[in-house]
């Protein structure tokens, strides 16, 4: 049976489903049910109208976009945008990734207004969120393009698919297998450990 045991101070209700244990009929498990409003999956700044947002996404959708992982199921796009704007700078757009049933899958993305705010988030790597509903550490990564051309090396272009992405601020580029090797040969032996780790491929 589904129960609504309490109403919190903010008016929010919590729902739980009581299930009988398969091992023992006398034991019951209580599972929390988290309702999800589909409109909470996206948020757009009031400074941007729909046409301007479409132009932003069409122009260069990944230049200032951060991928956010390990999100709590109660996190909304609006809350995500508020948190990131306070920590790193103005946010244009935020979205929570959902499955085919439009239920959140634990990841999302944030588009910043400025490149400075974007790199501030990228250098943070992780954010600890502590609020009344939950406490959670979320992971920040660059939002990668599926079919991006290799950046090449030594000023020479490359037409191969850039399957690796180097998140070291000294690189911040896509590389194919050969160009990755050329660009990073000797880094592990010549650079400090922290720098070597920063040059690990992100696929």
**pLDDT tens digits, 151-166:** 999 889 999 999 899 9
What pLDDT, on a 0 to 100 scale, did the predictor assign at position 10? 52
The model's pTM is 0.79
Q: Find the distance separating the first CA and the last CA of the chain, reported in whole Å.
A: 44
Name which CATH class applies to 38-142: alpha beta
**Could you tell me the two tokens for 3?**
């129960």
What pLDDT, on a 0 to 100 scale, did the predictor assign at position 131? 85
d(CA 84, CA 87): 5
Domain boundaries, the chain: 2-33, 38-142, 147-203
d(CA 92, CA 63): 13
Band (134; pLDDT cuts 50, 70, 90): confident
Angle between helix 77-87 and 115-124 (nearest 10): 90
Q: Do domains 38-142 and 147-203 have the same CATH topology?
A: no
At 88-106, the pLDDT tens digits run 999 999 999 999 999 999 9
CATH of 147-203, one of 4.10.410, 4.10.640, 1.10.150, 1.20.1740: 4.10.640
At 34-45, the pLDDT tens digits run 889 999 999 999
- Look at residues 83, 82, 86, 172 and name the one whose alpha carbon lies nearest to residue 122: 172
What pLDDT, on a 0 to 100 scale, did the predictor assign at position 70? 94
d(CA 121, CA 141): 9
């Amino acid at each position: 049976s589904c129960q609504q045991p309490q109403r919190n101070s903010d008016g929010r209700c919590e729902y739980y489903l009581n299930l009988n244990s398969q091992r023992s009929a006398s034991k019951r498990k209580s599972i929390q049910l988290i309702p999800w409003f589909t409109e909470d999956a996206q948020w757009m700044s009031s400074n941007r109208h729909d046409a301007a947002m479409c132009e932003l996404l069409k122009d260069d959708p990944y230049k200032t976009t951060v991928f956010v992982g390990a999100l709590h199921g109660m996190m909304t796009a609006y809350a995500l945008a508020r948190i990131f704007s306070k920590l790193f700078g103005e946010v244009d757009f935020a979205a929570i990734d959902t499955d085919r049933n439009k239920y959140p899958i634990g990841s999302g993305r944030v588009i910043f207004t400025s490149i400075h705010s974007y790199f501030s988030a990228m250098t943070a790597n992780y954010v600890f969120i502590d609020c009344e509903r939950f406490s959670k550490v979320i992971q920040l990564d660059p939002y990668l393009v599926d079919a991006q051309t290799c950046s090449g090396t030594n000023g020479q272009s490359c037409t191969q698919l850039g399957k690796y992405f180097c998140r070291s601020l000294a690189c911040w580029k896509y590389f194919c297998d050969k160009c990755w090797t050329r660009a990073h040969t000797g880094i592990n032996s010549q650079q400090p450990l922290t720098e070597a780790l920063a040059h690990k491929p992100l696929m």
